[in-house]
Amino acid sequence: MAKFTLSQALLHRPQIDEAKLDSTTEEDIRAYQEEDGFDPDFEPATMRIVPGPRDVRVRLGLTQREFAEALHIPLATIRNWEQGRTMPDAPARALLTVVAREPDAAFAALGTGGVPDEADDSQPSR
């Protein structure tokens, strides 16, 4: 690896031809894109918003513990997601999307029944 001083590095700065840059047309840019293998007409797919773990949990009225148990995910993972320490990976984002859209079906498929009912007073309070 070569070492340079700041003054040496400044001597080797690339020169920018401002006149050429200013005279570049949209057709030139399109030709450069095609030359580089890019499709200038490519339209990126629309982005899908993935609901945040906390948003899904709060909308369902669950505690972090209840949500973790219902999804079969460690409580610490839920906390880390909600506090921004880590981000859900692709499979977890897919699971969160399914739970956000069809919570009863998702929890039934996971074997945790439906969304816990807040009005259910059959369980003793702790």
Domains of the chain (ranges; CATH) run 53-109 (1.10.260.40)
Mean pLDDT on 92-115 = 88
**Is the CB of residue 88 less than 8 Å from the CB of residue 41?**
no
- Give residue 25's pLDDT: 93
| High-pLDDT (> 70) share of the chain, % | 88
Which residue, among 124, 107, 105, has the nearest Cα to 73 in the 3D structure?
A: 107
Say whether pLDDT at 16 is over 60.
yes
**Is the CB of residue 51 less than 8 Å from the CB of residue 97?**
yes
Tell me the pLDDT tens digit for each residue of 23-63: 999 999 999 989 998 888 888 777 777 789 999 999 999 99
Place of tokens 């340079």: 4
